[in-house]
Structure formats: structure tokens, C-alpha cells
């Protein structure tokens, strides 16, 4: 397929596309590179918009339906821009029996967000993770990439509100 067409050009002239291009080229621009390419695009841009999905699909010779199917199948990929900060609440078993449920309930009550939602002011995106492996710190949350262990709902809400 790719041989029949000219190589598509990136949706924007953002330099970050070069990183995505390199990752795809290293795997021979073949359909099997789809997930790696989506990882690369999300790492570079923070989320996957329609242009990114089309560009990756065109480059690898994968139809849009399949690209969209894969991007929505895996929970790691997000198709919407995220808030300024992200808060990931671990809902692994150890965190669950140590009170992750109360944390999520508290965040919903006080900040009005459910998992996969962003607060109305666009400040904080709330996500959940199926065990981040920090079971000894249960319940654990990850705020902007930093793991916080043994958190309580009250402290966490105060911290997020202060952001």
C-alpha cells in the first residue's frame, strides 16, 4: 500500500512529528507499528487528535476505522486534551481495600469530577489506574507523575484545590 502513494505529510509543521516519523520508520512503516506510533504521538502531544490518527494511519497503511478502533480499545490512549494537572488514583486491589473508593467518592463530591473527566476550570484531570505497583504505599495517587503514598481524601482534595 504505502508504495502506491506518496508519503503523507504531517498535519502541522510542528517539529514533534519528526519524533513520531522516526519511530514509525524504525519499524518499517508497517501496520504492526500502529501502537508504537500512537504511543509516540501521545508522548509528543499529550493526546491524540483526529489529525494525528489520520496521519499515523496513512503513513502505516492502516484504514481510519482500525486506527480509531485501536486508539479507543486501549485505555492508555486519550483522544481529548488533558487538564493542566493530572491526578491518577490507583484502584488496584491493595489500594482499594485501603480506601481508594473513599478518595474517588471525595473527589466527586468536592470537585465534581469522575474518572476520565477534567474539572470545570480545566485545572485537573482525574484518571484511574489498574495498579501502579506501589502497593506498599496504598492508597496511592500520582499527581503530575509523582507518586504520593498513603493519602487521605481530605488532604488530596486540599492539595488539588490549591493547584
Partner 1 sequence: MSEQPVAARPIRRRVVTEEVHEGPVRAHAYVCEAASCLSAQSHDLMLRIGETAAEAGLSDVVVKRVGCLGLCAAGPLVEIPETGQLFERLTPADAGTVVAALKAVRPTDERRPQGPFFEKQLRVATENMGRIDPESLEDYVERGGFEALRKVLTEMTSSEVRDEITRSSLRGRGGAGFPTGLKWTTVAKAEGKQKYVICNADEGDPGAFMDRSVLESDPYRILEGMAIAAFAVHATEGYIYCRAEYPLAVARLRTAIRNAQRAGFLGVGINDTSFSFDVQIRLGAGAFVCGEETALIASIEGKRGTPRPRPPYPAVEGLFDCPTLINNVETFANVPTIIRKGADWYADIGIGKSKGTKVFALAGRIVNTGLVEVPMGMSLREIIYDIGGGIIDGRPFKAVQTGGPSGGCIPAQHLDIPVSYESLIELGSFMGSGGMIVMDDTSCMVDVAKYFMDFCRDESCGKCVPCRVGTTQLWMLLDQITQGRATMADLAQLERLAGIVARMSLCGLGQGAPNPIFSTLRYFRDEYLAHIVDKVCPAGVCTIEQPAEVMA
Residues that bind partner 1 (CB under 8 A): 30-36, 38-39, 42-43, 46-47, 60, 62, 66, 69-70, 73-78, 82, 86, 88, 91-94, 96-98, 127, 129-138, 142, 144-147, 149
User: DSSP E strands: which ranges in 6-161?
Assistant: 85-90, 117-118, 124-129, 141-143, 146-148
Among 54, 58, 30, 52, CA closest to 40: 52
Q: How far is the CB of 73 from partner 1 (least distance, A)?
A: 4
Nearer to partner 1, 65 or 120 (CB): 65
Alpha carbon separation from 113 to 30, 107, 125 (Å, rounded): 39, 6, 8
Q: How far is the CB of 125 from partner 1 (least distance, A)?
A: 9
Q: How far is the CB of 138 from partner 1 (least distance, A)?
A: 7
Nearer to partner 1, 46 or 51 (CB): 46
Among 12, 62, 15, 14, CA closest to 37: 62
Amino acid at each position: 500500500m504505502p508504495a502506491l502513494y506518496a508519503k503523507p505529510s504531517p498535519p502541522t509543521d510542528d517539529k514533534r512529528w519528526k519524533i513520531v516519523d522516526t519511530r514509525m520508520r524504525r519499524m518499517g512503516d508497517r501496520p504492526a507499528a500502529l501502537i508504537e506510533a500512537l504511543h509516540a504521538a501521545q508522548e509528543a502531544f499529550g493526546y491524540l487528535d483526529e489529525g494525528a490518527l489520520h496521519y499515523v494511519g496513512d503513513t502505516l497503511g492502516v484504514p481510519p476505522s482500525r486506527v480509531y478502533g485501536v486508539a479507543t480499545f486501549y485505555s492508555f490512549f486519550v483522544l481529548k486534551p488533558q487538564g493542566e494537572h493530572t491526578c491518577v488514583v490507583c484502584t488496584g486491589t491493595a489500594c482499594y481495600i485501603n480506601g481508594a473508593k473513599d478518595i474517588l467518592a471525595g473527589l466527586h463530591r468536592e470537585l465534581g469530577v469522575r474518572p476520565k473527566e477534567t474539572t470545570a476550570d480545566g485545572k485537573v484531570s482525574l484518571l484511574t489506574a489498574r495498579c501502579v505497583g506501589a502497593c506498599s504505599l496504598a492508597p496511592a495517587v500520582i499527581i503530575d507523575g509523582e507518586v504520593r503514598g498513603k493519602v487521605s481524601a481530605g488532604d488530596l482534595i486540599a492539595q488539588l484545590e490549591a493547584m
